[in-house]
Amino acid sequence: MPYMKLQFRPGIVRDTTSYGNEGGWYDCDKVRFRMGFPEKIGGWEPKTHKTFLGSCRALHPWTALDGSQYLGVGTNLKYYVDEGGGFNDITPIRATTAAGDVTFSASANTLAADVAIGDTTVSLTSSTGFPTSGRVQIDSEIITYASVSGNDLIGCARGQDGTTEAAHTSTTAVNCATLLVSNTNHGALENDFVTFSGATTLGDQVTADVLNQEYQITVVVNTDTYQVEARTVSTISSITITSGLDATYVFATASDSGSGGASVVGAYQLNTGLDTAIVGTGWGAGAWGRDTWGSSASVTTVGTQLGLWTHDHFEEDLLINQRDGGIYYFDTSGGLASRAVSLGSLSGASGTPTVARQILVSNNARHIVVFGCDSEVNPGVQDPMLIRFSSQASLTDWTTQITNTAGELRLGSGSEIIAAIETRREILVFTDTTLNSMQFLGPPFTFGVNAIADNVSIVGPKAVAGAQDTVYWMGKREFYSYSGRVDRIQCPVRDYVFNDFNSDQANMVFAASNTAFSEIWWFYPSGSSTENDRYVVYNYMQNIWYYGTLARTAMVDRGLEATPIAAGADHYLYNQETGMDDGSQNPPTAISAYVTSSQMSIGAGDDFVFMDRVLPDITFRDSTATNPTATFTVEARNYPGGAYLQSDTNSVVKTASSPVEQFTNQLYVRVRGRSFAFKVSSADTGVTWRLGVPRVNIRSDGQR
């Protein structure tokens, strides 16, 4: 028989059988299609070698009037502004105490008696008043423990800092790093941050310098007390690593007594959010210490839901909103050492919203618009269906008057606003059941809202992105687009995505455009994952889909930067589409990429056929490896339900894999079967490839 071209339809079709998609591609990872042909996606490199705290789920780039380029980075623990590779903490202060409202106690942190040190348990002579969990030093060993039961420290992790000792009995004092902090009605949650000032020395170890710095709260004991762990003097940014904080701890001794003096002040940052959503209410729904004892945990308030931010720039400054929390303003002229402040605290502020679900600055009308906020007449009470907007070009004028353009609107369909996005013509507002169009009308109404589609879902507040004046979003079981009307996008990988999707973590889903390749990316958590570990891509120019595995929690398209920027689950920012390797490690590692065709039969598919030669057609342009290589694999089987590697009397070789280099003319293979699948893969550094139209030599052996 003559050589046969292996030319397949672009895009992945997964929601049918491999035989049902004959002539197409069936599976892939880290591969895109350009001009109809598959190629390996670009690599990624760290934007900066510094890490941030928490899971980043919001990125926003903007430029100041002096040309300075900034990137807002919102995590469940902090809000940062990145400039030049440094993460500057601008998280607003929630509350500042009066002098003397905060006191410290280390009096229970030293026990001198016989101590039996086991593998996972430390037994004390007495545990009266000992912290319920924390970190202790016994002899030269540092041990963490999870709880106290009787006189035993339970759940001990031994051998930290390379100080493992054999199980033994000690008469050395047990010194503890935990400090008990008292502050009536502190309002803090576990993992919150507080900065102390004005404290005096407790003793030899816990000095004033140790106390007067920023701390992360480790345990909330009750509404009036919580715990922190004393450490040597260091800024939070200097000890931030991928796993959290890498502190050098200070262990109190018997000399560390007192309360820190009568001038201690505590400055509390905003309550932190969760990095994983907890669904439902009742016992166990929410993190320990995030509600009062015995109460059900709410999933609609800050601190008990996934930590999300929305943000937008107003001229050269930044507006940020902690979802279902307050609205804050960051003035770039104050420098990156300053913090964002409440919008209502600005000079001349009038009627500003105090709680909102999302904030957006309308480029068309220059109004600040907030969604799911409190009303003018009922401040502090959130209405999930209310929209408010400031007077035109004003940060502070929100009181409705005939002399300004401030006002409010309430949507009529649905029960809550989920998301909003601006296009060239309008602002699209998604509720849980409808899509609405909000348009600028001018005086006296300023804005008007019309429902444009019913029974339209969106899976989460970050699941929508725009490109070329078309908006794309992921629904609860569908994908949609809007360019003047709502269309459901035909998706041949829909079942593949939604049948292995963790709907409990749907708010993690985020969409981002990648305009260089005419793509919309959605990152989402697979069924067994509590973090985004997969992606699905819609190429709107070719009207095709493909997917893969990659852990990203947020991404923004190229604009101020030459390439897209993404946040990794490892707490680094990455320049995507940069190079061809995985730069999350040093040295960079290979990206494992592949694309596999559906089964193809020869003739009527009845005869057994024999393949003995493949003529490659592949380019390795831009590869940096000395001898870039991809692997061509031909897989055969005899029946639709048969295994590729099944051995039977009708088989010669079921699978043939051969490396293809830049100047490989032909491959000799020996594969026999009724149908074949073709695969291209690579797993070497410095390699990028693009497939053309390979050819294969096939002949029939006349048997059926």
Give the pLDDT of residue 175: 86
* pLDDT higher than threshold 70 for residue 701: no
Higher-pLDDT residue of 203, 545: 545
Banded pLDDT at 569 (limits 50, 70, 90):
very high
Whether residue 625 sits in one domain with residue 572: no
DSSP codes of every residue in 120-186: S-EE-S--TT--SSEEEEETTEEEEESEEETTEEES-EEEETT----SEEE-S-EEE-EEEEE-TT-
Residue 470: is its pLDDT beyond 70? yes
Amino acid at site 380: G
Domain boundary among 543, 578, 613: 578
292: confidence class by pLDDT, cuts 50, 70, 90: very low
Number of domains in the chain: 3
pLDDT at 656 over 70: no
Reply yes or no on whether the pLDDT at 148 is more than 70. yes
pLDDT, residue 277, reads 87
> Is the confidence at residue 329, as pLDDT, over 90?
yes
464 and 546 co-located in one domain: yes
Give the pLDDT band of residue 289 (cuts 50, 70, 90): very low
Query: Is residue 677, in this structure, part of any structural domain at all?
Result: yes
155 and 19 together in one domain: no
State yes or no: pLDDT of 286 exceeds 60. Answer: no
Q: What is the average pLDDT across 343-351? A: 96
Residues 485 and 564 occupy one common structural domain? yes
Q: What is the pLDDT averaged over residues 626-643? A: 80
Is pLDDT of 485 > 60?
A: yes
Total-model pTM: 0.92
Domain membership of residue 445 (yes or no) is no
* Percent of the chain topping pLDDT 90: 70
Single residue among 229, 250, 265 that ends a domain in this structure: 265
Task: Name the strand (E) or helix (H) holding 617.
Answer: none
**Cα dihedral across residues 607, 613, 617, 623: positive or negative:** positive
Question: Residue 289 falls within a domain, yes or no?
Answer: no
pLDDT score of 676 more than 50: yes
Residue 573 and residue 603 in one domain: no
Confidence at residue 519, expressed as pLDDT on a 0 to 100 scale: 98
162-176 pLDDT tens trace: 666 677 777 777 888
Residues 508 and 596 occupy one common structural domain: no
Q: How far is CA 317 from CA 87, 362, 394, 405, in A?
A: 17, 14, 13, 22
Answer yes or no: do 622 and 647 share one domain. Answer: yes
pLDDT at 157: 87
Average pLDDT, whole number, for the chain?
Answer: 89
Residue range 218-226: mean pLDDT, rounded = 95
Q: How many angstroms separate the CA atoms of 7 and 630, rounded?
A: 18
Segment 501-525, tens digit of pLDDT: 999 999 999 999 999 999 999 999 9
Q: Are 547 and 595 in contact (CB under 8 A)?
A: no
381 occurs within a structural domain: no
**Of 225-234, 249-258, 423-432, 572-581, where does mean pLDDT reach its minimum?**
249-258
Residue 531 lies in domain: 460-578
Element (H, E) at 299: none
Q: Residue 402: inside a domain, yes or no? A: no
DSSP percent split of the chain into helix, strand, coil, nearest 5: 5, 45, 55
The mean pLDDT of 679-685, rounded to a whole number, is: 94
Burial class (CB in 10 A: 0-12, 13-18, 19+), 262: exposed
Asked if the structure places residue 270 within a domain, the reply is: no
> Do 166 and 238 lie in a common domain?
yes
Over residues 468-494, the mean pLDDT reads: 96
Mean pLDDT of 412-425: 94
Residues 148 and 256 in one domain: yes
Q: Residue 264 pLDDT more than 70?
A: yes
435, 482 Cβ separation under 8 angstroms: yes
Position 446 in a domain: no
Residues 558 and 636 placed together within one structural domain of the fold: no
Question: Which of 149-153, 317-321, 367-371 shows the lowest per-residue confidence on average (mean pLDDT)?
Answer: 149-153
Q: Residue 21: phi, psi to the nearest 5?
A: -105, 30
Closest among 426, 446, 569, 559 to 510, alpha carbons compared: 569
CATH number, domain of 646, equals 2.60.120
Going by pLDDT thresholds of 50, 70 and 90, the confidence category of residue 108 is low
**pLDDT higher than threshold 80 for residue 160:** no
Instruction: Identify the domain boundary among 233, 265, 297.
Output: 265
Q: What is the pLDDT of residue 169?
A: 78
Do residues 207 and 111 both lie within one domain? yes
Banded model confidence at residue 327, pLDDT cuts 50, 70, 90? very high
The pLDDT of residue 253 is 85
Residue 383: inside a domain: no
Do 145 and 225 belong together in one domain?
Answer: yes
